[in-house]
């Protein structure tokens, strides 16, 4: 496999030691990179240092000795060639604001977080631009695709996409991440990749509700298909490339999150379909289901810019207005009849 990166000289930091952040750090550590990993919880830092384990967020795996955990965000962010941000989307602005003036203007900033900010309706790359004004647009990239953390940690063959306005930046990240079991493609469509990775979490909640209600495979297949229509509709309105949604960050990630048992968003939806209340479900989870907060962003954004997204809007009403899943399904099925394909 072609590889034009010098493993010994490239300095990498990973901000966030949840399941995905830990899996990324371990993936790069096993490849041979020395990885500084910022960990919020002291107990997680101690576990990684003493036992090479993250028992809370990625249990069952022995982590690479090339991972160096730290609770000091500044030290992890400073003097890096590549800084990978893997924090929940609602914490992105607060976290990266703490490293403005610390991170080098030459550092490539890679977002591996999926979500849309509630107040601003910005994707994570746009939040990074605002929170880190010293970093130019061409130094920002995003990575997305069908990639459950546990399966990446298990070295299951995985394919993702990295997006950047700068071709050289995208290709640099591509070569840093690529291994015989982790294949990376490139694109310049940041907005398409980010919308695909964000909105699919809302559709996954809907898919989980369908499974919780025992509606069947016909319904789930239709939900995924029409969900993709909504993602594409929003993406085109915001300037994305339509072809992106037929790729890994679009339909690929959507299928995975709507059907995989490891999907936290699908799990939330399934429990709602089975009759549990959202607050009860979230109180039992330590990890974040991004679709819950993203549903609010998508609801408000779609109404603001006039994009029809009925599935996402019904999920918002289920989550925030206590509409029953059965009523939401009835409303979706009784909408005015129309042509399938948008003109």
- Residues with active-site annotation: 200
CB-neighbour burial class of residue 273 (10 A; exposed 0-12, middle 13-18, buried 19+): buried
Question: Is 269 strand, coil or helix?
Answer: helix
CB-neighbour burial class of residue 2 (10 A; exposed 0-12, middle 13-18, buried 19+): exposed
CA atoms of 40 and 69, how far apart (whole Å)? 10
CA atoms of 127 and 109, how far apart (whole Å)? 12
Smallest CA-to-CA distance from 244 within 185, 291, 288, 328 is with 185
CA atoms of 229 and 312, how far apart (whole Å)? 11
CA atoms of 4 and 137, how far apart (whole Å)? 23
Residue with tokens 């099925």: 333
């Amino acid at each position: 496999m072609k590889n034009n990166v010098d493993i010994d000289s490239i300095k990498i930091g990973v901000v966030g030691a949840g399941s995905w952040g830990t899996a990324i750090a371990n993936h790069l550590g096993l490849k041979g990179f020395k990885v500084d990993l910022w960990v919020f919880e002291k107990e997680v830092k101690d576990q990684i240092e003493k036992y090479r384990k993250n028992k809370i967020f990625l249990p069952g795996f022995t982590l690479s000795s090339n991972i160096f955990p730290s609770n000091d965000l500044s030290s992890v962010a400073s003097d890096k060639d590549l800084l990978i941000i893997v924090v929940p989307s609602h914490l992105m602005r607060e976290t990266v604001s703490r490293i403005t003036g610390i991170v080098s203007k030459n550092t490539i900033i890679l977002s591996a977080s999926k979500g849309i900010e509630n107040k601003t309706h910005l994707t994570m790359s746009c939040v990074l631009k605002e929170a880190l004004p010293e970093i130019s647009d061409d130094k920002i990239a995003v990575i997305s695709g069908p990639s459950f953390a546990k399966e990446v940690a298990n070295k299951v063959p995985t394919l993702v996409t990295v997006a950047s306005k700068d071709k050289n930046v995208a290709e640099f990240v591509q070569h840093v991440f690529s291994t015989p079991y982790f294949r990376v493609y490139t694109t310049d469509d940041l907005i398409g990749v980010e919308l695909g990775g964000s909105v699919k979490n809302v559709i996954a909640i809907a898919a989980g509700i369908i499974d919780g209600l025992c509606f069947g495979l016909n319904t789930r297949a239709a939900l995924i298909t029409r969900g993709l229509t909504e993602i594409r509709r929003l993406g085109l309105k915001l300037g994305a490339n339509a072809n992106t949604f037929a790729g890994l960050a679009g339909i690929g990630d959507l299928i995975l999150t709507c059907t995989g048992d490891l999907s936290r968003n699908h799990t939330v939806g399934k429990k709602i379909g089975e009759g549990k209340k959202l607050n009860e479900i979230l109180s039992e989870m330590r990890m974040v289901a991004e679709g819950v907060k993203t549903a609010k962003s998508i609801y408000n954004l779609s109404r603001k810019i006039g994009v029809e997204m009925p599935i996402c809007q019904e999920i918002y009403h289920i989550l925030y207005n206590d509409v029953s899943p059965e009523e939401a399904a009835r409303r979706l099925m009784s909408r005015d009849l129309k042509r399938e394909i948008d003109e």
